[in-house]
Amino acid sequence: MKILLIGEKGQLAWELIRTLMPIGEVIPVDYPAFDITDKSQIEDTVSAIQPDLVINASAYTDVDRAETEREKALAVNAEGPGWLAQICHKCGISLIHYSTDFVFDGTKQTPYTESDAPNPINFYGLSKLKGEQAIQNETDSALIFRLAWLYSARGNNFVNKFLEWAKKYETIKVVDDQVGNPTWARFVAEATAAILAQSFCGGSPLTDWVRQRAGVYHLTSGGEASRYDWACKILEYAPDREQLRVKEVLRAKNKDFPTSAARPAYSPLDCGKIVKVSQITISNWESQLFSLY
């Protein structure tokens, strides 16, 4: 299997590259050599590589800046993936794409399922929702995985930010009224590989196998945590704890940290659908975090 992986520099793609190697030949690309907002470049790249599968792990992820850079966010998160899906469909290639919990408004009191109606409260979430819709309008052989609160040992994420703060400050305030699923990028990569590996058992072409399972799936850690809960566990599990300056983590509220974009207060995702379809195991968020170290 030949896999075109878009978004080579991102934390998820870095995990996907190493995890997908047993599945097939991985050909990673990223900006500026590959620009997902350039339709002709997408077409030329797909034509030149002729992959069996395309995985789009690229995204515009700056939630606050998306409020003012709307055209850019829309181009990367919606228009580009739509063109990619169109070209994949024309060439008979399956597509895997990653979306977000931020397609929901956070007003529900129980984890969101795929049947719940999206209602994003910031432009980043809207752009990702439009990306989902564009893909589904253009191809019937795509898997869309909604992720949440993604982190890894590298890249710009809450775990790395918190550890940097912990080196500088004795007291850190973290909000306890944002609740979600802290999800390890390696778990997502391994789950993606495990799902793809199942396609080898059916005997049917990959495009048909994906078509039979096409749609949106939630793929996150199990359980739920507030940002405060998450921060406390990061501190508890952190290696070289004696080198950190922080002495206490205090509870705060979302209103204490005004931002350009609103965040959903409660956005845990229910992964029951993907477990039923693929039989993968959803590990708890605490065990995923512990495995990071």
In a domain, 278, yes or no: yes
CB atoms within 10 A of CB 217: 22
Under DSSP, the state recorded for 77 is I
Q: Output the pLDDT for position 254.
A: 95
Instruction: At 185, list the tokens.
Output: 């990028």
Q: Which DSSP category does 181 fall into?
A: -
Tens digits of per-residue pLDDT, 197-250? Answer: 999 887 789 999 999 999 999 999 999 999 999 999 999 999 888 889 999 999
pLDDT tens, position by position, 167-202: 999 999 999 999 999 999 999 999 999 999 999 887
247 within domain boundaries? no
**234 within a domain of the structure (yes/no):** no
Q: List, for residues 250-283, the tens digit of each pLDDT value.
A: 999 999 999 999 999 999 999 999 999 999 999 9
Q: What are 150's strand-pairing partners?
A: 183
Asked whether the CA dihedral 79, 14, 30, 159 is positive or negative, the reply is: positive
Q: 205: exposed, middle or buried (C-beta count within 10 Å: 0-12, 13-18, 19+)?
A: middle
**CA nearest neighbour of 149 among 11, 20, 293, 17:** 11
Question: What's the whole-model pTM score?
Answer: 0.97
Give catalytic status of residue 112 as yes or no: no
DSSP, collapsed to helix, strand or coil, labels residue 160 as helix
Asked if 180 contacts 158 with a C-beta cutoff of 8 angstroms, the reply is no
Could you tell me if 231 and 286 are in contact, meaning their C-beta atoms sit under 8 angstroms apart? no
pLDDT, residue 62, reads 96
Q: Answer whether 134's CB lies under 8 Å from 94's CB.
A: no
How far are the Cα atoms of 4, 57, 220, 232, 272 from residue 146, in angstroms, in the given order? 20, 12, 8, 25, 13
With H, G, I as helix, E, B as strand and everything else as coil, classify residue 18: helix
Q: How many domains does the chain have?
A: 1
pLDDT of residue 203: 74
Task: Indicate whether 169 belongs to any domain.
Answer: no
Distance CA 72, CA 85 (A): 19
Question: Which pLDDT score is estimated for 241?
Answer: 84
C-alpha to C-alpha distances, 183 to 188, 218, 268, 277, 287, nearest whole angstrom? 8, 12, 11, 20, 10
Please tell me what DSSP assigns to residue 112.
B
Contact by Cβ (8 Å): 268, 190: no
Within a domain: 231: no
CATH of the domain at 119: 3.40.50.720
289 lies in some domain: no
Task: Identify the residue with better confidence: 103 or 240.
Answer: 103
* 160: in domain: no
Task: For residue 43, tell me if it sits in a domain.
Answer: yes
Range of the domain at 11: 2-152+182-222+268-283
What pLDDT digit, counting tens, does each position of 13-66 carry? 999 999 999 999 999 999 988 999 999 999 999 999 999 999 999 999 999 999
pLDDT at 63: 97
Choosing from 60, 124, 228, 266, the catalytic residue is 124
